[in-house]
Amino acid sequence: MEQENVKQSENTEHIFGGGVTYLELLAEIDNLPKEVADKLQGIVLTHGYNDSYFDIRRTEEVNILIDKNYLVDVTDPRCILDKNYSRNTLFTELSKRQYDIAPNTGTTKQQMIDWILENSEQLTDKLVSKYATVNYSEKIIPHIRELKKLINELDIRQTYRAERVLLSDFYYTLEEEKQNEEITDDEMKKIMEQWKAEPSQKKKSTALLLCLFGGYIGLHHFYVGKIGMGILYLCTVGLFGIGWIADIARVAAGKFKDKYGHYLK
């Protein structure tokens, strides 16, 4: 078991610069509540490696990520108001009767922001609390590129996954796949040639009958699984008869293949 752990650590060190630290981070993320872990993965996918601050919606999950030191909160009320609210939105808000201000067409956005920050703590909290300006913490930022690569691969493979997939487990799954794929190009070419040489599950006699009596509408192509070519024959009456006649000769001579490239048996 000890040797196995050492081997895993060496593999990790080879592929990811963070080594064991990266695996520890994955395990830590896996231990977060699912909604919080999913939120962190979504942020990493959306923003990727980012050495500057960015604005996101302030949700309960985001607050937990800030408390657990995955994100650093550097929210500035003035910047939030300026970047996330239009002049018309602020104008509409300040036009309500409870505020002691009457903005007009000449009131600039900056003047409205100044008034909100100086005169209404309640309105400031209401507007600013919807957003947070954050960046990744020091413990996660060195691994963002590797983490995004891993999460992206997980999303590609299981877009509609019904149950939670742990990042650490998925990482080891990829490692095992990589080890199993250690095969030379010549060996792979030989395997493919052997596979293509296998006979098709479709019968030559059936394809020939379909081609003779329905080849002009592509029945023989539909039979061997070539749906696209079948539709083309259907729309062009067997490629204007030329393709139909050529296919009769090919099927009769045993040169016709199914959609997998296998000759008909």
pLDDT digits (tens, 9 = 90+) for 103-155: 888 899 999 999 999 998 989 999 999 999 999 999 999 899 889 888 888 87
Q: What is the mean pLDDT of the chain?
A: 83
Where among 148, 179, 210 does a domain terminate?
Answer: 179
The structural domain count of the chain equals 2
**Pair 155, 239 in one domain:** no
- 147 vs 98, more confident: 147
Is residue 68 one of the residues assigned to a domain?
yes
Distance CA(129)–CA(126), nearest Å, equals 6
**Pair 225, 175 in one domain:** no
Distance CA(29)–CA(38), nearest Å, equals 9
Is residue 187 one of the residues assigned to a domain?
no
Q: Whole domain around residue 202: which residue ranges?
A: 192-265
- 109 vs 201, more confident: 109
- pLDDT of res. 192: 64
**Pair 90, 136 in one domain:** yes
Query: Among candidates 146, 144, 126, 127, which has minimal Cα distance to 135?
Result: 144
Instruction: For residue range 85-97, list pLDDT tens digits in order.
Output: 999 999 988 888 6
**Pair 95, 147 in one domain:** yes
**Pair 87, 35 in one domain:** yes
Is residue 185 one of the residues assigned to a domain?
no
* Cβ(251)–Cβ(204) below 8 Å: yes
